Structure 1
Amino acid sequence: MSATGELLDGGVRLAIPLLLASAGELVSERAGVLNLSVEGMMLAGAFAGAVGARAGGSATAGVLCALLAAVLTAALQALLSVTLRSDQIVTGIAINALALGVTTYGARLYFTAGRSVPGFDRMPIPGLRDIPLLGRALFDLTPLGYLALALVALLAVLFSHRTGWGLAITAIGADAVTADRSGLPVAAWRWIAVLLVGATSGLAGAHLALADVHAFTDNLTGGAGYLAVVAVIAGRWRALPTVLACLFFGLAEALQFAAPALGLHLPTAVLVMSPYLLAVLAVSGLVGASRSPAALTRPFVREARSR
């Protein structure tokens, strides 16, 4: 494989968890709920996926456990931020800290005899895999990788501005009070959006543990959840730019491994920090101004209605 092909292959593989997590987060932020807890949801999914795969003896069992753990974590986020109307940023950071502590302690208890677990192997598509440059990047993935790309495309269609669901989510994120007056169940939609983030983040965590490394290590996500949130902001709360931002971050991370083959002799520290440096630039406004949904991070309080 050429050096460029290796970079693209690694970039897409590393971008898949970001694509999954940011797909759900995009829907949630458009509904007005910011989930900094994506990192915690991914970490819970990765740990539960590894435990489930080892206990059940299959990667599929691991995925189901990852979904359950991440959705339960998302339910805690929804309870705090939607029902109890707590500060979304504070609750997100608290959940991340809780997930890191629980999974670190759990890993040291459960994986004392080794951290390797059953996982997914690559499943190349004959013919398409041999397409120059992009063949291996797009058509030599694991089954979970193909599922991830299909799910991201499905969510982009279901919650586009051309569908009823997409219009409802956009209306709630723009003005929750007006949306409530028009008959939209704001709290219910926000609960659904946050639980969707949990499901996609759980799959993202499962991909990290079961498709990438077939193991679980402390803090396996390594900030990927935060990058997923940044990708939504850098993508200006639109589907295609968010996908491109995820791919950009994935390529930046893959450059750490492909740089020598490309003839780039940069300090290792620069390569390691490059995705996060690019993330800072993306949200700083240097890549273009953006306007977030007006109701983002604002708790919804139903106005009293006269009879």
Structure 2
Amino acid sequence: MPLSELQANSSGHEQTDVPGLHGYWSRMTAALSGKSSGHNSEFHRDRLLLHVLGLGLEQTTQYLLQNHPGFTEFQDWAFATAGKPSGNTIARLKNLYEDAPLPQDILSLHEQVSNMPDVLSAEDLQHWSEHGFVILNEAVPATDCAEAAQTIWDALGAKEDEVASWYHKGHANIMVQLFQSPAFDKNRRSLRIHKAFAQLWGTADLWASTDRCSFNVPEKPGHVFQGPDLHWDVSLYQPVPFATQGVLYLTDTPPEQGALTLVPGFQHKLAAWLDALPANASPREEDLHALGSVPVGGKAGDLVIWHQALPHGSRPNRGKKPRIVQYINMLPSHLQVHETWL
């Protein structure tokens, strides 16, 4: 319900007036042609627009870059890629862009999540406060993980029992630009996941992300880890606002198997560390592992959520199987985004 029901199209649904879509196309078209677009100030709403329509940021950007479509062509591509938006999706976007009332289905979902028993314990929340990350065990059932993992295997043309199929030029980077799948949507709809994010954000009124996946194969001669290594996905302009990121392990992933790696507690240290750097230093080019990086393994179905101020990334896979994950996040309608990139 946080995502897929909002984008699922009922039979005969013909609504095409999608709030925000023309503005997004216009800003992106201007930005990609080097013109001033106002895109930065609308970044968060644009991100939510794509999420709720079931479109990946990377796939949408690449389509616009490669095709330079007019608006009608762009809209047709969006609907062909992710399906026509439902009435609930349109209503939620009207709430985002026009402050119209939320549909009852969405209000009922928010109430349901708010009234659920907590899935993160007091100890979990203390760990989050101190270390900036938390593990939600059994966020989704093992069967749902297996279905999502198989979707990735199939998309890559690889087989779990054929090691040679894991390696080819298309696997140079661990990221898999795969976004649309009923298996992925089922995980995005997980009420346990929604509740965990609601506990961290303090509200159930959240939007589920349409994020990509990754397939990190074991290193071997001629195939070394290509990253991404430790990094941030947010401007380091201070103060870095609170926000979450998350990764769902689709298979059992011990620490040595290319597990998520981060620097625990660095959300409390980032500002002082930046101030202590030499004037000409580039913080993103520093040895971030020296700050105390730690791999965070997990079982299939475990979700790791971290504070966006933590340096994070994957790591070389020294195990025997690929690390297979689905990125999942949830965000509120309004979020501070610094326009100054540092």
Global fold match (TM > 0.5) = no
Flag the structure with more relative contact order, 1 or 2, with Cα contacts below 8 A and sequence separation at least 6: 1
TM-score of the two chains, using structure 1 as the length reference? 0.23
**Higher helix share goes to which structure?**
1
